[in-house]
Amino acid sequence: MGGDGTDLTPSAGAEGHAELAWQELHTPGESSAARVEAIEAFRQACRAIEQGGPSAIEPIAALASAAKPASEARTPSGPAGQISPRPHAAARILAEVGTTEAAAALVRIALHTDILIAGRALDALPSLRISQAAQSLLVDAVRGATSGAEGQRRSLLADGLGRQLVTGADFEATLWARAHPLANVRAAWARALARALADAGAPSGNPSATASLREMLDDPDSMVRAWAAFGLVLAGEVRALSVLARCARSRRSDERAAAVGLIGVLPLPEAVPPVLTATDDRSPLVARAAIVRAGNLGVRTGLLAVAGQLSCKRTDVVEQAAWTLRELLGQDPGFAWSGRRLTAASAAAVMTRCRAIHERWAPRTRYMHGQTMTAHAVSCTLERGEADAQPAFFTLLGMSGRSFGYDPGADEVANRGAVEALVAWAAEHGSGLAPGAFYFRGERMS
């Protein structure tokens, strides 16, 4: 039965209940309480579908693999042109049901030659319920991937596989992934290991995982090296940050942007200089990534670095800088726009204001929405299920030294229990931490 007494057996239309809950979860502006209710309703409906056996999976798999692109599917009762989430919701239902039949259907759809269809399953795979069956299916699909078209499609399943590998019963049997011929498979394995090693209270003592990441520091692919270094830093080997910093100076702008994105979520004072330097990168992609992370780090020098981009020639960089400053300050600092550009007078006035705030804010202190950062404030951001929850998670990880099983690669439904644990930790222990201080693996950074 649902919380309102609704029968959620398959015969009562559990699929419809799950889809409705999924839509509610993706409705902008929903409160944290409403999101929790939607997640529970979604899970209950998926459990009811599971009770229906293999026959209940077939129509859901058919919807998830429907030939009509999701961008063309319209909601009959909605406003003209409103996009229906039905195929994507169906794929996520398969991941939540998580039976052998559901997992097999999701893997099959993820290997579809139409990327629009495959994309629905690929989005859901990183949140697939962990099971031996799911691990076996994904291992069989990915292990033999080659450079051909079919192999490339199979390699896209690697992120979903990573979640299964590091939590599977036979970790040693999965180490083939670190030497896979395709770089994106190796990178996915490094990402999975980084998540596993992040928790100072759980699997961080796995010597095989740590050794794997150390070996991958010599990988020929920059992104593999970056993720390996990131994982080692999270495991406490801060010297690996130098490898990440070198990746942030890659000749390829996409690699620089990705590396800066990783550095900027590390709750370390040493992460600040490379991120702020990158706000002035010649590539708008890198500059935008650095601007976002400068806001996440929340230090006073970031104010000036971000404000300095308000006069950039690229409008997308200006817009990102303005959005980041508004979030960091907790208010509009007085922007005046002419189209997609700030007026010269406005840009100058905002810079002057940021210089004044810079003088008031304390050095080596983190700020959030205009106030010194606290565990409670960060936990509220994570609890609201905002689009980019990773910075909030890594900040809480730094403060607590615990991940509580949170998986940055999975979605809000899969992470609900971990979010609740992190929020509870912030409520119980957060007041004992100095507001605005850098913490890493539970210890304050001087």
* Model pLDDT for residues 385-443, shown as the tens digit of each residue: 766 688 999 999 989 888 888 888 899 999 999 999 999 999 999 999 999 999 998 89
Q: Is residue 336 within 8 Å of 345, Cβ to Cβ? A: yes
Per the prediction, the chain carries an average pLDDT of: 87
Q: Which of 311, 336, 371 is the last residue of a domain?
A: 371
Q: Are residues 365 and 388 in the same domain?
A: no
Q: Is residue 80 part of a domain?
A: no
Per DSSP, the three-state class of 74 is strand
CA distance 246 to 340: 34
Q: Are residues 365 and 404 in the same domain?
A: no
Instruction: Give the range among 15-29, 60-74, 75-89, 135-149 with minimum mean pLDDT.
Output: 75-89
Q: Are residues 387 and 336 in the same domain?
A: no
CA distance 265 to 80: 40
pLDDT digits (tens, 9 = 90+) for 144-181: 888 788 888 888 898 888 878 765 555 666 678 888 88
Q: Are residues 305 and 366 in the same domain?
A: yes
Q: Are residues 279 and 366 in the same domain?
A: yes
C-alpha atoms less than 13 angstroms from C-alpha of 432 in its C-beta half-sphere: 9
CA-to-CA dists, residue 38 to 92, 174, 382, angstroms: 14, 35, 16
Q: Are residues 423 and 362 in the same domain?
A: no
Helices then strands, counting H and E runs in the chain, come out as 22, 6
Q: Is residue 84 part of a domain?
A: no
Could you tell me the residue range of the domain that residue 316 belongs to? 275-371
Per DSSP, the three-state class of 218 is coil
CA distance 334 to 348: 10
The band of 1, judged by pLDDT with boundaries at 50, 70 and 90, is very low
**What does the chain come to in residues?**
446
Phi, psi of 440 (to 5 degrees): -140, 120
Q: Are residues 349 and 390 in the same domain?
A: no
CA distance 171 to 312: 48
Alpha helix ranges (H) inside 98-182: 100-110, 115-124, 132-142, 149-155, 158-165
Lookup: tokens for 55 = 């026959």
Alpha helix ranges (H) inside 235-374: 241-247, 253-263, 272-278, 284-297, 300-307, 315-329, 344-360
Nearest Cα neighbor of 338 from 352, 354, 357, 322 is 322
| pLDDT of the residue at 200 | 56
Burial class, 426, CB count within 10 angstroms (exposed 0-12 / middle 13-18 / buried 19+): buried
Looking at the structure of the chain, the number of domains it has is: 2
Q: Is residue 73 within 8 Å of 84, Cβ to Cβ? A: yes
Q: Is residue 402 part of a domain?
A: yes
pLDDT digits (tens, 9 = 90+) for 210-222: 888 899 999 999 9
Inform me whether the pLDDT recorded for 2 exceeds 80.
no
Nearest Cα neighbor of 198 from 255, 267, 256, 138 is 267
| DSSP conformation letters of 44-55 | HHHHHHHHT-HH
CA distance 273 to 264: 10
pLDDT digits (tens, 9 = 90+) for 272-295: 999 999 999 999 999 999 999 999
Inform me whether the pLDDT recorded for 111 exceeds 90.
yes
Inform me whether the pLDDT recorded for 6 exceeds 80.
no
| DSSP conformation letters of 62-114 | HHHT-SS-GGG-B-TTSSTTPBP-HHHHHHHHHHHH--HHHHHHHHHHHT-SS
Q: Is residue 285 part of a domain?
A: yes
Q: Is residue 433 part of a domain?
A: yes
The mean pLDDT of 88-112, rounded to a whole number, is 95
Q: Are residues 327 and 395 in the same domain?
A: no
Q: Which of 338, 353, 371 is the last residue of a domain?
A: 371
Lookup: tokens for 205 = 């003592």
Q: Are residues 361 and 300 in the same domain?
A: yes
Q: Which of 336, 371, 406 is the last residue of a domain?
A: 371
Q: Are residues 290 and 341 in the same domain?
A: yes
Q: Is residue 281 part of a domain?
A: yes
Q: Is residue 327 part of a domain?
A: yes
| pLDDT of the residue at 85 | 61
CA distance 21 to 26: 9
Q: Is residue 426 within 8 Å of 379, Cβ to Cβ? A: yes
C-alpha atoms less than 13 angstroms from C-alpha of 242 in its C-beta half-sphere: 2
Q: Are residues 357 and 299 in the same domain?
A: yes
Q: Is residue 247 part of a domain?
A: no
| pLDDT of the residue at 170 | 58
Lookup: tokens for 248 = 């942030």
CA distance 80 to 293: 37
| pLDDT of the residue at 387 | 63
The mean pLDDT of 111-131, rounded to a whole number, is 93
Instruction: Give the range among 37-46, 170-179, 320-329 with minimum mean pLDDT.
Output: 170-179
Q: Are residues 339 and 304 in the same domain?
A: yes
Q: Is residue 310 within 8 Å of 317, Cβ to Cβ? A: no
Lookup: tokens for 135 = 């691990």
Nearest Cα neighbor of 87 from 109, 104, 103, 56 is 109
Q: What is the pTM of this model?
A: 0.86
